[in-house]
Amino acid sequence: MKRKEVLKRLRTAAKSQGLDYYEFELKKHTAVRIGTTTRAIGRHSEIPELTVIKFYQQFSDELGKGWWH
């Protein structure tokens, strides 16, 4: 999946639930903060599907279990 699509999906989900979304750049990763949860994802143009699912799961506390389905 494209990196831009992953971030867009997170941004849309956070906005629809009224949560703060903040994105900032680290050395080799992009950090995403939704509510109180902050996680980083690599700056690759293509991200493997399994990595995307694991990344989405890390935001389940904020967005709800299985929010990406």
pLDDT score, position 46: 95
Measured distance CA(44)–CA(62) in Å, rounded: 25
Is residue 24 a contact partner of residue 30, using CB atoms and an 8 Å limit? yes
Q: Does any domain span residue 15?
A: yes
Q: Does any domain span residue 69?
A: no
pLDDT score, position 42: 92
pLDDT score, position 27: 95
What does the pLDDT profile of the chain (69 residues) look like in tens digits? 999 999 999 999 999 999 999 999 999 999 999 999 999 999 999 999 999 999 999 999 999 999 998
pLDDT score, position 56: 95
| Structural domain boundaries, residue 53 | 3-63
Beta strand spans in the chain (E): 21-25, 29-34, 37-42
Domain count of the fold of the chain: 1
